[in-house]
Amino acid sequence: MLELLRDEAPEVRRVAVESLGKIGDPRAVDSILSLKHEPAAIVREASVLAMGRLKPTATEGVVALLTQALEDPVESVRQAAVVAIGEIEPGTRLLQPVVGLLRSSDATIRKAAVQALLQVDASQSIPALVAAAGGSDAEVRQGIVAAVGEWGGSAVSPWLRERLAEDPAPGVRAEAAYRLGILSGPDARAALESTIVKDPDSGVRRWAKRGI
């Protein structure tokens, strides 16, 4: 099976790496890592998904492969990396390369990084997430609000209330309303009640009502 990873045909290499992931042999990890510079997107995607299925112990090499995949120009490869990171669950120290992608100039890469951080315990990365929340891309900001709300606990309630009141994008405000509804508390409730009265977007008002 391993020799098929060097086959000239991308489809053969894809099937080979998928099979390695399904077999679940941890000895295949090093072989999959060798595909780091694979030219065919279908093989890159398959290798990242296989890594997630194998669930190896998170190492710098494994996280480097997944971080590189988060920067891939092909959307399906980036999404495969998001899934794999959720399966492998790297610790805070090993997650730093992923956190670093929040500073990328490419919004698609920032979005992938945020999605990945939503899959794992990113409680130690809250400051970096908050710092990245001022960008112009609404989808990235919404993802950051989701990740901060997921992992920040009650301490981030003031920040979420600020996003609910001030962000220009309805999707971001709706996410903030949803997260505040989960956190509950008198201050969160007051912010949601104010939103029901004042927010111009019906979707945001609907999420605020659900949170009370």
* Structural domains for the chain: 1-121 (1.25.10.10), 123-212 (1.25.10.10)
- Is this structure's pTM higher than 0.85? yes
Of all residues in the chain, the percent with pLDDT exceeding 70 is 100
Q: How far apart are CA 126 and CA 117, in angstroms?
A: 10
CB 179 within 8 A of CB 142: no
CA distances to 35, 73, 148, 167, 173 from 202, rounded to whole Å, are: 48, 35, 24, 15, 11
Q: Of all helices (H) and strands (E), which one includes residue 133?
A: none
Mind listing the pLDDT tens digit for each residue in 71-109?
999 999 999 999 999 999 999 999 999 999 999 999 999
Q: How far apart are CA 159 and CA 20, in angstroms?
A: 45
**How would residue 25 be classed by pLDDT, with cut points 50, 70 and 90?**
confident
Q: How far apart are CA 66 and CA 36, in angstroms?
A: 9
Q: How far apart are CA 81 and CA 195, in angstroms?
A: 36
